[in-house]
Amino acid sequence: MVLRVIESWWAPRRVVRSLSGMPDRVLLVVLMLAMLISLIAQAPGHARAAALDPSVPLEARIGGAVMGTIFMMPLLAYGVAALTSVLARLTRWRLDPLDARLALFWALLAVSPAMLLSGMVAGLIGPGPALTLTQTVAGVAFLFIWAAGISTLARRI
């Protein structure tokens, strides 16, 4: 799995094509793994913020991040995947809901190394050009891998 995440950075179409047909229960594991890594990536930034502003303790910051990342984001991800599948019907391409979930969930997991780097920068350096750069790289990589997954799995009618 780790090698596929790394390979997704230069050959996302090949990786997503090889994952096609993944059962829905495994997709849920992929999504939850991506959310767990995202939560871990947020921890250094929350620790830095709590040290600089002790009015909100670290436990409260982490608790809010857990609520948002582990409980709310998966619901949002399923909604975005469903919306992507529905919007694809407006074009000449068809994207099955399962394929829409695969493209989105895999893109979230594939950018996890960049999210971890961004989290380290947030914790060690704080706001500034370095954090902006790492967050931009993670965001652009996510969009690139997600778009590659959608274009690979969509079927033309």
pLDDT recorded at residue 21: 85
**Cβ proximity of 148 and 20 under 8 Å:** no
CB-based contact 109:34 (threshold 8 Å) = yes
Q: What percent of the chain has pLDDT over 90?
A: 87
Q: In sequence order, which ranges of the chain are alpha helices (DSSP H)? A: 2-7, 12-19, 24-52, 58-66, 73-88, 97-110, 112-124, 129-153
Tens-digit pLDDT profile for residues 61-82: 999 999 999 999 999 999 999 9
What b/e sequence results for 89-111 when a residue is b if at least 16 CB atoms lie within 10 Å of its CB, and e otherwise?
A: eeeeeebeebbbbbbbbbbbbbb
Distance from C-alpha of 78 to C-alpha of 143, rounded to nearest angstrom: 17
pTM: 0.92
Q: How confident is the model at residue 2 (pLDDT cuts 50, 70, 90)?
A: confident
What's the Rg (C-alpha) of the chain? 17
Three-class SS state of 155: strand
105-118 pLDDT tens trace:
999 999 999 999 99
